[in-house]
Structure 1
Amino acid sequence: MKRHWFASALLVGLIGCGQSGGGDTGPLEGFVCGVDGQSYTVEKAAEDEREVAHRGKCDQPMGCGSVAECFAGDQCVPHDGSNVCVPFPHDCSCVGVFEPVCGDDGRTYINVCEARCARVDVVFEGMCKDDPCALVDCAPGFVCEQGQCVPEEGCDGDGDCEPDEICIDWPPEEPAYCVWVGCDDDEQCRPGETCVIEDICRAPAAVGPCDAAFPRWFYNFQT
């Protein structure tokens, strides 16, 4: 099956080696390698209706360990002893522009049109990997760092916390953070928290193996 870039109904793509692609600067993801062995920008490949071999420059392919590392709609296929991202046809009629956006499904789309065609909402402009915390919703008392929820820093004592909160340092190896005390049931806690033993509002334990999760129960550190 041939893969061509069409100005009005295009397959997504990047550029490779060679000198015929409308400039050789810019991110690797903004290029495709043509079957003629020349590298083109996404826009140039679409404009000239070039048949595309893979994303990235011809001498610097856009590699992938899985399809999740490619643009949404691409395939991760073997090429010269490794795997590369290859654009595949779809039913969208989108202009060939490289303006990547991150969708709420955690996938990067080559432009807004591609995301809309897939019925996906855009979270922000750019590659999803540029902001790993954009799609992470942490419970109260936690903040996102490098895509992971970690205890929120910022208290050396109860005086650094809001009223009805105390500063705890559990687990000991983690920074101290504030938790709400004085609850009788879950309805008195903030969204995402549970009223646990000793009247402390606590966020649920982390998802994952036990050695990666935070304990659900805490002592009352006021006693």
Structure 2
Amino acid sequence: MSDRLKVGIIGAGRVGPVLGAALAGAGHEVVGITRGSDDDRLEAILPGVEVCEATDVVARSQLIVIAVPHDQLEGLVSGLAEVGAWMPGQLVLHTDPAFGVEVLTPALMKGAIPLAIHPAITFTGASIDLRALAGAFAAVTAPVPVMPIAQALAVEIGCEPVIVAEAERPRYAEAISTATEFSRSIIEQSTELLRAAGVAEPGRYLEALVHTTVDQALAAGGETPPAG
């Protein structure tokens, strides 16, 4: 995007501050963020950014990034609409994989522009995530007239945008959950078995095996590779 935006972040967990840092790296100005549970981590990722209430974040921002837990998103957007926080022309972007832009309807009704961008990485909340974003894809959902804006923002945080239709967001979210939760569960189970078998560092032992297995599965497009 050619225009530099004043960016506000609602949600100071693992995702919001990192996306704020990515947008700042693209030349935008992060003007406020809501309070999180780890002030030191927040300061390390977004040094000097003012911590304020959600209504203040919205009031001073042209782009608002909402990165809150799934069960809080709908209520947050509606609540801010009820107090008259949203303003015409603001870009309102959420990062939840399961929702498209319909969840942002209360903001849309106040004249805001709804965008849904989900970067397909597992966030740690540390600066290492910025490098991970540079090699990732992002699911983008937006009204057709503003789709180029959503795609440009995805590129600016380092991702390659992939359009996911509103109706397909639940299926997309299921795919993401399956890939992350199932993988984590299987690896935890494997490390425990190796530890019980006397392997001192099961995580390191599995590292190359897991990476090569995943690489083969991805290259095969989900097909089972031939034995040997």
TM-score by length of structure 2 reads 0.22
Which protein has the bigger helix share? 2
Relative contact order: is structure 1 or structure 2 higher (C-alpha 8 Å, sep ≥ 6)?
2
Structure number with larger C-alpha Rg = 1
Which protein has the bigger strand share? 1
TM-score by length of structure 1 reads 0.23
